[in-house]
Amino acid sequence: MTGPHRTRLSSTIGRLLQALLVVWAASTATFVLLRAAPGDLYTTSLDGFSVPDSTRALWRAQRGLDQPLPAQYLLWVRNAARGDLGYSTMFKRPVRDVMRDVLPRTLLLMGLALATSMLCGMAIGAWQGTRAGSTGDRWISTLSMIAYSLPEFWLALLMLQIFVQWLGWFPATGIVDAMHDLMPPGEQLLDRLRHLALPWCTLSLVGTALFARFQRSSMIDAWREPHVRTARAKGLTERAVRRHAWRTALVPVITLFGLLFPALLGGAVFVERVFGWPGMGYTTILAVGARDYDLVTAAVIVGSAMTAVGSLLADGLLTIADPRTRAP
C-alpha cells in the first residue's frame, strides 16, 4: 500500500474509533445519569394507590434494578454486545422491536427532509449568491430569515391550523389513515403521501432556510475569489463560471450537513409529536418521562451514532469537494 493510501486508511480508522468512543461515552453517561435521578419506573404513581414496597422490591429484582450500578452496567454491556438492547418497560416489548418500528419512520422523515433541505437550500442560496443585493435576493433572504427563526413546533402547529383545520387539505396526524387497509393500492400510496406532506414540509422548510443562508453567504465569498475572476477572464460561459464558484462555495454547506444530520433528529421530536408521527424522536421523549432506562439508552446510542455518521459523511464529502483537505 502506498504512503498516501496508508495515511488515508489510518485516518479513517482513527475517525471510526473516535466515533465508537463518542457512542460509548454517550451511552455510558446516559446509563449512569438515568439511574442517578430520583425514583424509578416502579416508583408509585402520582394519583393512584401504591403497590406495597415488598412487591416493588420483587419487581425491581426481576429487572435487575436491585443490583449495584457497576453490576447493572456490566450486564447491560454484555447484553448490548450480543445485540440485546434490553426491554422497554414503557412499551412492554424488547427495545429491539420498538426501535425496529420507530427508527425507519424517523429515518424516512429525516432523510427526505435533509435531502429536500439540501437540494432546495443549495439551489436557492446559489441563485441568491450570484444575484446578491437584487430585489429577489432581498425577498428570499427575508423569507428564509423568517422560516429559520420559527421554532419547529410552532411552525408545525401553524401548518396544522392552516392546511388541516382551515383548508382541510391534509390529515392531521399519523402515517396513514385508519381505513388505509381498505383503500385500493393507488389510493394507499396517495394516503401515505398526504400524511407525510406536512411533517416533511415543516422539517424541510427550516432546513432549507438554513442551507440557503449558508450557501448564499459562501457563494458571495466564492464569487469574489481570484479563480472565478480568472475563469471569467478566460472567456468561460457564465454557467461554467457559476459551476466553478459553486464548487468552492460547497465547503461550508457540507460542514453544515454534518451538523444538521443529528440536529434534524432533535427537530423531529416536536414535529413527530404534533403530527402524531410515531418515530424515534417522540418515543425517546416519552421514554425519558417513563424512566424507560433501556429504551432511552438505546436511543442515545442511535443518536450519537447518527452524529458520528453525519460527521464522517461530512468529512468524506469535504474530501471530495475540496482537494486541499485530502491527506498528502
Partner 1 sequence: MIAPRHISLFGLLTLCALLSGCGGEVAPSDNREEGGTVVIALAAEPATLLPPLVGSDHEQAIAEVVYDRLADIGPALNTVGDAGFTPRLASSWQWAADSMSIAFTVHKDARWHDGTGVTSTDVQRSFELYTDPRAESRNAQLLANIDSVSTPDAQTATFWFKRRSPQQFYDAVHHLFVMPAHLLIDVDLTQLATVPLARAPVGTGRFAFVGWTSGQRIELRSDTSNYRGRAMLDRVYFVPTPDFGAATVKLFTGEADFFSPLNRESLEQATRTPSVRVWTYPALRYLHLPFNLRDPANRARPHPVLGDVAVRRALSMATNRERIVRTVYDSIGSVAIGPAPRVFLPDDSLLRPIPYDVEGARALLDSAGWVVSSRDSVRSRDSVRSRDGVRLRFEILVPSVSVNRDRMAVLLQDQLRVIGAEVVLQRLEPNALVQRTKNGQFDAWMGGWMTSPGLVGLRQVWSTRAIGGEGDNTGGYSSSTFDASVDTVLTAFDAILARRALTKAMQTIIDDAPAIWLVEEVSPVGMSARIDPGVLPATGWWHGLPGWRIPSALRNDRDRAGLGTAR
> Which residues form the interface with partner 1 (CB under 8 A)?
37-40, 43-55, 58-59, 62, 90-94, 101-102, 105, 157, 160-161, 164-165, 167-179, 182-183, 187, 190-191, 193-194, 197, 273-276, 278, 282, 286, 289, 291
Burial bucket for residue 63 (CB in 10 Å: 0-12, 13-18, 19+): middle
Nearer to partner 1, 197 or 327 (CB): 197
Helix (H, G, I), strand (E, B) or coil at 39: coil
C-alpha cell at 295: 429504551
Q: Which is nearer to partner 1, 158 or 240 (CB)?
A: 158
Q: Provide the greatest CA pair distance for the chain.
A: 86
Q: Which residues of 197-216 are buried (b: 16+ CB within 10 A; e: fewer)?
A: bbbbbbbbbbbbbbbbbbbb
User: 3 or 39: whose CB is closer to partner 1?
Assistant: 39
Closest separation in Å from C-beta 42 to partner 1 = 9
The least CB distance from residue 114 to partner 1, in Å, is 21
Q: Are 96 and 83 in contact (CB under 8 A)?
A: yes
Contact of 59 with 42, CB cutoff 8 Å: yes
Specify the residue, 2 or 54, whose C-beta has the smaller distance to partner 1.
54
- Residues 225 and 248 sit within 8 Å (Cβ to Cβ): yes
With H, G, I as helix, E, B as strand and everything else as coil, classify residue 278.
coil
CB closer to partner 1 out of 41 and 327: 41
CB closer to partner 1, 1 vs 178 = 178
Q: Is the Cβ of residue 212 or residue 308 nearer to partner 1 in the bound state? A: 212
φ and ψ at 40, to 5 degrees?
-145, -170
- The full length of the chain comes to 328
Query: Quick check: helix, strand or coil at residue 96?
Result: helix
| Residue 142 burial class via C-beta count within 10 angstroms: exposed 0-12, middle 13-18, buried 19 and up | exposed
In the block, which residue shows the cell 419506573? Answer: 41
Residue number, 18 or 44, with CB nearest to partner 1: 44
Q: Which three cell numbers stand for residue 307?
A: 452524529
Rounded to a whole number of angstroms, the minimum distance from the CB of residue 272 to partner 1 is 9
User: Torsion-angle region of residue 101: left (phi > 0), alpha (psi -120 to 50) or beta?
Assistant: alpha
Which residue number, 170 or 257, has a Cβ lying nearer to partner 1? 170
Helix, strand or coil, per DSSP, at residue 290: coil
How far is 62 from 41, CA to CA, in rounded Å?
13
* Residue 283 beta carbon to partner 1: minimum distance, rounded to whole angstroms: 8
* Minimum distance of partner 1 from residue 256's CB (angstroms): 25
Compute the least distance from the CB of residue 193 to partner 1, in Å.
Answer: 6
Least separation in angstroms between CB 210 and partner 1: 21
Contact by Cβ (8 Å): 302, 23: no
